[in-house]
């Protein structure tokens, strides 16, 4: 709790609403110079004049590069990045549309890759910095309705595991944030009960605390994380029986 904040500057994507917005606000309130990105310039402006608004579509890799150049020119070298831009829509098993799958992979996964590839070479050259992204507990196991979303988050967890050792050797710390259900515009469309639902302020607080501690995985709430990790370890017949009895029954 209340660890000292180790960063002077931070860049947050997905900062116009939800978890990213609260991370941006909480860091700025603790004296960090924050740059905030999302597509909506109007919503970013509502963050106030303390936060540098850098409107950006993360699916545009050239724009991500330009954003990093601009941010570092204005607030200085980025110490912490949190890539939170993401999107979700449920998938019905009788309506599998490739463009929905590609769109979600484009924003959630390639959006992180675009921002990462723009920033990582600079941090590696400085041998310092911390980069994180928001994956999800939905990346641990395949869940009903999450056929397009879950794989993007599984890919983000795997991306972090792949890069962590060499990034660390190069002086750059990587963290992957795996939230459970958080009350944001993204989950407002869910028509099923969301266990252990958390407020975005609390999700932001736990994310910042985990980042300040330098943990690779920052996952919350703990009980939901433990249940899903245990489910992941089950033999498939048991796993699918559990899903049929819990998630499908309640949906």
Catalytic residues: 149
**129 is a site residue for ligand NAP (CB under 6 A):** no
Judge whether 181 and 222 are in contact, CB under 8 Å.
no
User: Which is closer to ligand NAP, CB of 32 or CB of 148?
Assistant: 148
Place of tokens 């300040």: 212
Per DSSP, the three-state class of 37 is strand
165 near ligand NAP, judged by CB under 6 A = no
- With binding defined as CB under 6 A, does residue 84 bind ligand NAP? yes
User: Contact between 210 and ligand NAP (CB under 6 A)?
Assistant: no
Residue 134 found at the interface with ligand NAP (CB under 6 A): yes
SS3 of 197, please?
coil
- The whole-angstrom separation of Cα 16 and Cα 18 is 7
Could you give the CA distance from residue 88 to residue 109 in angstroms, rounded to a whole number? 12
Are the C-beta atoms of residues 182 and 18 closer than 8 Å to each other? yes
Least distance in angstroms from the C-beta of 28 to ligand NAP: 16
Q: Which stretch binds ligand NAP (CB under 6 A): 3-11, 96-104, 182-190, 225-233?
A: 182-190
64 binds ligand NAP (CB under 6 A): no
Of 26, 30, 39, 77, which one interacts with ligand NAP (CB under 6 A)? 39
Minimum CB separation of residue 40 from ligand NAP in Å reads 3
Does residue 55 contact residue 39 with C-beta atoms inside 8 Å? yes
Closest of 168, 156, 10 to residue 82, by C-alpha:
10
Question: With binding defined as CB under 6 A, does residue 67 bind ligand NAP?
Answer: no
C-alpha–C-alpha distance, residues 214 and 8, integer Å: 15
Q: Should residue 186 be labelled a site residue for ligand NAP when binding is judged by CB under 6 A?
A: yes
Residues of the shown chain interacting with ligand NAP in the complex, contacts defined by CB under 6 A = 13-20, 38-40, 43, 56-59, 84-88, 107, 111, 134, 136, 179, 181-182, 184-187
């Amino acid at each position: 709790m209340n660890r000292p904040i180790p960063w002077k500057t931070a860049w947050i994507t997905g900062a116009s609403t939800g978890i990213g917005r609260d991370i941006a606000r909480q860091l700025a309130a603790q004296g960090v110079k924050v740059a905030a990105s999302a597509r909506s310039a109007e919503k970013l402006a509502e963050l106030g004049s303390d936060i540098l608004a850098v409107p950006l579509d993360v699916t545009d890799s050239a724009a991500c590069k330009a954003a990093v150049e601009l941010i570092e020119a204005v607030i200085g070298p980025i110490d912490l990045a949190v890539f939170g831009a993401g999107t979700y829509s449920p998938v019905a098993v009788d309506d599998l549309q490739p463009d929905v799958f590609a769109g979600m992979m484009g924003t959630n996964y390639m959006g992180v890759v675009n921002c990462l590839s723009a920033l990582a070479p600079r941090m590696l050259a400085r041998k310092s910095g911390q980069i994180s992204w928001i994956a999800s507990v939905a990346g641990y196991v395949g869940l009903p309705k999450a056929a397009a979303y879950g794989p993007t988050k599984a890919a983000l967890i795997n991306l972090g595991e792949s890069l962590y050792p060499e990034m660390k050797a190069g002086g750059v710390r990587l963290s992957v944030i795996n939230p459970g259900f958080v009350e944001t515009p993204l989950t407002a469309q869910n028509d099923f009960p969301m266990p252990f639902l958390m407020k975005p302020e609390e999700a932001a607080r736990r994310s910042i605390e985990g980042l300040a501690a330098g943990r690779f995985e920052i996952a919350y709430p703990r009980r939901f994380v433990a249940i899903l990790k245990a489910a992941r370890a089950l033999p498939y017949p048991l796993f699918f029986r559990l899903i049929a009895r819990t998630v499908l029954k309640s949906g």
